């Protein structure tokens, strides 16, 4: 697992070689005093439900975790709110416009891509899906799957953060979880 900071060998401002990082999340150049802090990347996911209780899962078309189940969503772009980024990602991945969103939870994730492990904060939401709409597998999606979230095996789900969100969603629906001690 390679942290993003370990990939920087030269200063992005002046091009001077960088010494080994002294801080786990900052690039500091001794030549020009350039200082840049690396931060967590923000991503979103959504549990879209039908009236029958099924939720829309996607099967990933690409690595990482190709072939495993995920939720529609993805990385938030610079200048987007979580909600705008989520709506854009859902439209790009499954061709659906999303109505009102309800915040579910956040979870830490690590996304390995191109030899770098990116620290990610995933924000999850819930929304109802119009039962007459027909999602399509578009960008990065191999298949659309309508599944009962309580019956999906955690081993089939691509990322720990998505497993945590599905678990929290199912617990919220379970009467014993709502009633407490």
Domains of the chain with CATH codes: 1-39 (no CATH), 41-175 (3.90.79.10)
Name the band, by pLDDT with cuts 50, 70 and 90, for residue 112.
confident
* Pair type for strands 141-147 and 55-60: antiparallel
The predicted model gives 80-104 an average pLDDT of 97
For the ranges 80-89, 98-107, 172-181, which has the lowest average pLDDT?
Answer: 172-181
Peptide bond before residue 41 is cis, with ω within 30 degrees of 0:
no
Residue bearing tokens 């678990």: 167
Separation between Cα atoms, residue 181 and residue 177, nearest integer Å: 9
Token pair listed for 29: 């150049």
What is the chain's mean pLDDT, rounded?
A: 91
Name the band, by pLDDT with cuts 50, 70 and 90, for residue 1.
low
Name the band, by pLDDT with cuts 50, 70 and 90, for residue 2.
low
Bridge partners of residue 57, in order along the sequence: 145
Distances in whole angstroms, Cα of residue 113 to Cα of each of 36, 41, 117: 22, 13, 6
How many other C-beta atoms can be found within 10 angstroms of the C-beta atom of residue 88? 17
Token pair listed for 43: 């991503």
pTM metric for this prediction: 0.87
Query: Which of 61, 64, 70 shows the shortest CA–CA distance to 156?
Result: 70
For the ranges 15-24, 56-65, 69-78, 141-150, which has the lowest average pLDDT?
Answer: 15-24
Separation between Cα atoms, residue 96 and residue 80, nearest integer Å: 18
**CB contact at 8 A, 144 and 48:** no
Name the band, by pLDDT with cuts 50, 70 and 90, for residue 151.
very high
Angle, vertex CA 70, rays to CA 56 and CA 57, nearest 5? 15
Name the band, by pLDDT with cuts 50, 70 and 90, for residue 5.
confident
């Amino acid at each position: 697992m390679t942290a993003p900071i370990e990939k920087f060998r030269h200063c992005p401002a002046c091009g001077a070689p960088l010494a080994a990082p002294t801080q786990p999340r900052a690039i500091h150049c001794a030549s020009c005093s350039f200082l840049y802090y690396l931060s967590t990347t923000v991503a979103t996911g959504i549990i879209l439900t039908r009236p029958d209780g099924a939720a829309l899962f996607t099967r990933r078309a690409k690595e990482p975790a190709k072939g495993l189940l995920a939720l529609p969503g993805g990385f938030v772009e610079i200048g987007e709110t979580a909600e705008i980024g989520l709506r854009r990602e859902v439209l790009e991945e499954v061709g659906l416009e999303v109505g009102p969103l309800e915040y579910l939870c956040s979870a830490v994730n690590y996304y390995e891509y191109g030899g770098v492990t990116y620290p990610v904060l995933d924000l999850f939401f819930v929304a109802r899906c119009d039962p007459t709409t027909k999602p399509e597998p578009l960008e990065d999606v191999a298949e659309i799957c309508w599944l009962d979230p309580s019956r999906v095996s955690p081993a089939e789900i691509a990322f720990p953060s998505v497993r945590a969100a599905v678990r929290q969603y199912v617990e919220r629906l379970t009467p014993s979880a709502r009633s407490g001690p």
